[in-house]
Amino acid sequence: MDRLTVPKTPGARRAGRGEYLFEPAQIDRFKVGADYSTTAASCIEGDRMMFALARMAADTGADTHSNPNEQWIFVLEGTLVGDVAGVPFEAKSGVLVYIPANTVHSANATSAADVVFLTVKDNSHSLHGIKAASPIEF
pLDDT at residue 114, as a whole number: 98
- Indicate the length of the chain as a whole number: 138
Q: In Å, what is the CA distance from 106 to each residue of 27, 37, 65, 71, 85?
A: 26, 9, 6, 13, 9
Task: Please report the pLDDT score of residue 135 as a whole number.
Answer: 56
Q: Which domains does the chain have, with CATH numbers?
A: 13-126 (2.60.120.10)
Beta bridge partners of 31: 40
Q: Which residues of 57-76 are buried (b: 16+ CB within 10 A; e: fewer)?
A: eeeebbbbbbbebbbebebe
Beta strands 61-66; 130-131: pairing state: antiparallel
pLDDT of residue 34: 82
**What is this structure's pTM?**
0.91
Tell me which residues of the chain have a pLDDT lower than 70.
1-4, 134-138
Q: pLDDT value at position 138?
A: 47
